[in-house]
Structure 1
Amino acid sequence: METSHSAALRYHCATKYRPDSIHLLPPADFSRQPMPFKSYQSDRAIDLIPYLPVELFPQVEDERSDPLDLDSWLGRLSRTLYFTYGATARQVWQGGHLIFRAAPSAGGLYPAEVYLVTRGLEDIPDGIHDYFVPNHQLIPVFDGDFLSEISSVAFDAFDPISTRAALVLTGIYERSTWRYHERAYRRLLLDTGHILGNLALYAPFEGFRPVPISCFEDDELNSLFFLDPDLEQVQVVVPLLESSAEPGITPWLVENRHVEERRVDESSGEPGETFADCHRAASLRSTALPMARRALASGGSVSVPSLGNTPLSRHAIDPMGPIELGREILRRRSTRSFARSEVSGDALSAILEAGYRGFREEAL
């Protein structure tokens, strides 16, 4: 039996590049590539395109009805979703179309899926919506008030009454494993981080303060979204708080006293077992919920194995406005082309400081 720490170390050692194994993976069979997005049949799709900025999308002017409140929740969410994970270009590839997105992805596989959970918003029904990237639409998946249940399985980390919207990022393993095999879990975590990075940069322009929460009871939250954990699992929950609102986030520390981590058997060595064991070992059990609530009821703080719930914030080296940032997001691509120019110590320090903000010293 092993803990999450030993499972993570075993996964790291088993999947790191080595000279004697880097060329052993079979070539990718593009005829078997899974679809990089979900497809729902719905006559209630919510069109988000009219709310995009005409400065970057002149054609949007023709799709706008009159009047259109660009500062509504729908407008703010439209632009936040687009500049976080929206479709920025299309290219013919392997007999089909490759849709590039605002966030970079290893191999252009996009294993992350983005859901929007809403409550009490005009023009958006309460419920869980899938962000359909190709058409920039919200597709209703489940109707109802889910924010209270999400907060509950996340150890009451946020106030579901004052919170009106949250993003839930999941990972669909098959989108990446077909090409990267065991290393796919690394790619999935990288992609999730890229999405959070975009969200941190752009969301404040729309008056949002995103707070990523990775502390939740995995099985309960996956079940709430009706996910098959062998195919797709929740990676992070991100309440979108109003910038002017009180934080409303429970300040947790990094300890293991109140939470039971999963223990897993040694991997059988079959493909996919190593990263699956790593994820299972780090997930939280349902027994953590009553223990956490008892700790809060007794006046204590809840401690969970996480780096805490730290609000994301913009930390651009060169301050820019939303249009300038949006233009950069539309222009950039994942690339290995380097300019070979110098980077100042101050610039490098700012990048590192932004990347490691909120991390405890012993976690580095």
Structure 2
Amino acid sequence: MPDLQASIAHYYHQRTKYDPNTIASKNKVLDWSKQPFPFKEYKIGNIFDLKPYLSSPLSTSSDAKVQEWRRLSRLLACSYGLTAKLSTMGGPPIYLRAAPSAGGLYPAEIYLISGGTSLLPAGLYNYQALNHSLIHFWESEVWEELAKACFRHPALEHTQLALVTTAIFERSAWRYEDRAYRRIFLDTGHLLGNIELASAINYYRPYLIGGFTDSVIDELLYLDPEQEGVITVIPLIDLTENQPKIEPAKTALPSTINTQYPNIADGELLKYFHKATQINQAETPSSLAEVEENSPGEDKYNFPFCLKVSTSCPPIDWGEGLTGIETTILKRRSTRAYSGADLTLDELKALLNFTYQPQDYIGQGLDGNPDYFDLKLLQTFVGVSGVKGLEEGCYYYAPKAQELRQIRFKNFRQELHFLCLGQELGRDASVMIFHTADLNKAVAKYGDRVYRYLHMDAGHLGQRLNLAAIYLNLGVSGIGGFFDDQVNEVLGIPPDEAVIYITTLGRPRLG
């Protein structure tokens, strides 16, 4: 029987850890003929083709409606649109998208809910990435139901357009089994990073909502809850119109802490955990106010007598109109191999600056306080294997002080190779960023649902690292598979910090 003193979030995390003594027995042979199709299909609906609005820049037309279509088209293309089509040996082509996905499985779907706008009649829409279009599959007034399910989040009172992201579980579970739930939310976090930045480029302000009545929105979108679940709701405020004053509201709401659960068979844990982290209508929050800033809290660790290195630096220049961000989103690829050559300290500083210091980018047109769920719950550790001007070892990154604080001095290349399941990315990377969280404190604050928030915030930060690295002509790749407990032991990370995500950085191997 499970330990009934542990919440289901703790139980899931422990149960899905990779361990070097047992991982071989869990490896399975994949039947590629049964891989789920990564695009959702609707047989009936009115199609809005978005492709014509990608062919020219925003400023070439004086027609206001054409401008609106272009902004919406570019927002969706830069969030989750197709960026490449790769041929395979006799099999179906592989499609790559603007947001990275573990194993190229793309479990996320994007829906639009319209309360009736100048472009989109009221109802439900699915974004069809395969042909860059919207399909209007339900024509009905649903905005009031959405607002009630989101506990009257104030942003929904000032717009009639919202994105909804969902996850089709089997797309990822087909390969990663129960641990796929982690990867689904990391993938969603990367998608949220794109939505945040693509919105700024196209004059929208997205408001992130992670607390809602899951079953109501599942039903509203006609989802099969055994196959697909709502993950986030994101109202879009049009910044080209008179900007309303929106009262700050919580992005994250708590669920219950579930300590009563049965023995759960392998293959059933993912869906059981998803249901256990849902919010019911009866759990209406007393208030959506009392909002904390989305920036990190006070720096958690200040080790005595450690080496401290300032990371303060000028912000990355993304070019006029943020053209560098759009270009980078569309050309981004996960790096497959590193050369092992060093990065410079200035490059590492620039990566950390864009990821953790958004206030430095207000002058370029980006949001200085973009929505996350709760960055105060995440900590960042940096494993340095090759950075000119910086000793090898493990560092804690203190975002408030903007400095690296050394924990352990050592060359970790071989250990990192082992920790990352023998992937050469771990061995040859110059830098590895580890996002961690104290699960006990996180669950105490938000209940079991916090597991979603932690992984989405880590993925969101990971996407900013991705884009900054590509823009600086560096290589980058996220790793969601690692030996959990051994990471803490090898690097000297405190044992109460659960490892959530790893991002590798280095110089890409040519040829």
**What TM-score results when the alignment is normalised by the length of structure 2?**
0.60
- Does the C-alpha gap of structure 1 residues 249 and 167 become closer, same or farther in structure 2, counting only changes over 3 Å? farther
CA, structure 1 residues 27+231, in 2 after alignment: closer, same or farther (shift >3 Å)?
same
The 5-angstrom pairing of residues 54-73 of structure 1 reads 54=56, 69-72=65-68
- 2:413 corresponds to which residue? none
For residue 128 of structure 2, what is the amino acid of its counterpart? F
Matched, 1:81 2:84: no
- Give the corresponding residue for 2:337: 337
**Amino acid in structure 2 at the alignment position of 1:246:** P
2:293 equivalent to 1:278: no
Q: CA contact under 8 A between 1:166 and 1:240: conserved in structure 2? A: yes
Change (3 A) 1:328 1:53: farther
The aligned amino acid for 1:130 is: N
d(CA) in 1 for partners of 2:186, 2:5: 19
Question: 1:92 is matched with which residue?
Answer: 87
- Report Cα offsets for 1:315-349 as digits up to 9, x if no partner: x7332334432222222112243364234353243
Structure 1 residue 156 corresponds to structure 2 residue 158: no
Which residue is equivalent to 2:97? Answer: 101
Q: Does 1:14 align with 2:54?
A: no
Aligned letter for 2:335? T
Residues 15 and 183 in structure 1, CA contact (< 8 A), matched pair in contact too:
yes
**Separation in structure 2 between the aligned mates of residue 326 and residue 241 of structure 1, nearest angstrom:** 20
Counterparts of 1:2 and 1:113, CA distance in 2: 35
CA contact (8 A) 1:52 1:79 kept: yes
Residue 349 of structure 2 aligns with which residue? Answer: 346
In 2 relative to 1, CA 242–68 (structure 1 residues): closer, same or farther, beyond 3 Å? closer
Query: Mean Cα displacement is larger for which, 168-177 or 236-245?
Result: 236-245
Q: Which amino acid aligns with 1:274?
A: L
User: Greater strand share, 1 or 2?
Assistant: 2
1:67 Cα deviation from its structure 2 partner? 6.8
Counterpart mapping for 1:107-126 below 5 A: 107-126=103-122
Shift in CA distance, 173/360, structure 1 to aligned 2, threshold 3 Å: closer
Structure 2 residue aligned with 1:298? none
How far apart are residue 68 of structure 1 and its match? 8.4
**Displacement, 1:6?**
1.9
More RCO (CA 8 Å, sep 6+): 1
**Which of 21, 45, 48 in structure 1 is aligned with 2:47?**
45
C-alpha contact 1:129 1:140 (8 A) present in aligned 2? yes
Check conservation: 1:111, 1:175, Cα contact below 8 A. yes
- Match in the other structure for 2:249: 251
Give the Cα separation in 1 of the matches to 2:270 and 2:82.
29
From the superposition, tell whether residues 211 and 159 of structure 1 become closer, same or farther in structure 2 (CA, over 3 Å): closer
Identity of aligned residues (%): 34
- Distance (Å, rounded) in 1 between the aligned partners of 2:10 and 2:119: 47
Residue 288 (structure 1) aligns with: 283
Q: Secondary structure at the match of 1:45?
A: strand
- Equivalents in 1 of 2:293, 2:135: separation in Å? 28
Q: Is the 8 A contact 1:117 1:126 kept in 2?
A: yes
1:247-305 per-position Cα deviation (integer Å, ceiling 9, x unaligned): 5255239786xxx626364343312332233322221111123xx3xx4xxxxx3479x
2:349 partner letter? D
- What residue in structure 1 maps to residue 395 of structure 2? none
3-state SS of paired residue (1:134): coil
Instruction: Give per-residue Cα distances to partners, 1:213-264, cap 9 Å, x unaligned.
Output: 00001111111112121110000001111235235255239786xxx62636
Give the aligned partner of residue 31 of structure 1. 33
Specify the alignment match of 2:204 in structure 1.
208
> How far apart in 1 are the matches of 2:169 and 2:292?
25
For residues 136 and 2 of structure 1, the distance between their equivalents in structure 2, rounded to whole angstroms, comes to 48
Post-superposition shift, 1:10? 1.6
What TM-score comes out, normalization by structure 1 length? 0.82
Given the superposition, is the C-alpha separation of residues 363 and 346 from structure 1 closer, same or farther in structure 2, using an over 3 Å criterion? closer
**Is the Cα–Cα contact under 8 Å of residues 7 and 257 in structure 2 kept in the other structure?**
no
Where in structure 2 are the equivalents of 1:316-331 lying within 5 Å? 317-320=316-319, 321-331=321-331
- Comparing 348-357 and 87-96, the one that deviates more: 348-357
Q: Counterpart of 2:153 in 1: which secondary structure?
A: coil
Structure 1, 171-180 or 324-333: larger mean CA deviation: 324-333
Matches within 5 A, 1:118-157: 118-157=114-153
- 2:164 maps to 1:168: yes
Aligned residues of 1:116 and 1:167 also touching (Cα < 8 A): yes
1:18 to 1:163, Cα distance in 2 relative to 1, 3 A: same
Count of residue correspondences: 339
Is the 8 Å Cα contact of residues 86 and 136 (structure 1) preserved in structure 2? yes
Contact preservation (8 Å) 1:3, 1:281: no
Counterparts in 2 of 1:236 and 1:333: CA distance versus 1, 3 Å: same
CA–CA separation in structure 2 for the residues paired with 1:221 and 1:52: 31
Q: Tell me how far 1:113 sits from its aligned partner.
A: 0.5
| Aligned residue identity for 2:81 | G
SS in 1 for 2:281: coil
Task: Provide closer, same or farther for how the CA distance between residues 27 and 253 of structure 1 changes in structure 2, counting only shifts above 3 A.
Answer: closer
Name the structure 1 match of 2:256: 261
| C-alpha RMSD over aligned residues | 3.3
Contact kept, 8 Å, 2:46 with 2:135, in 1: the verdict is yes
Q: Identify unmatched segments of 5+ residues in structure 1.
A: 296-300
How many angstroms does 1:133 deviate by? 0.5
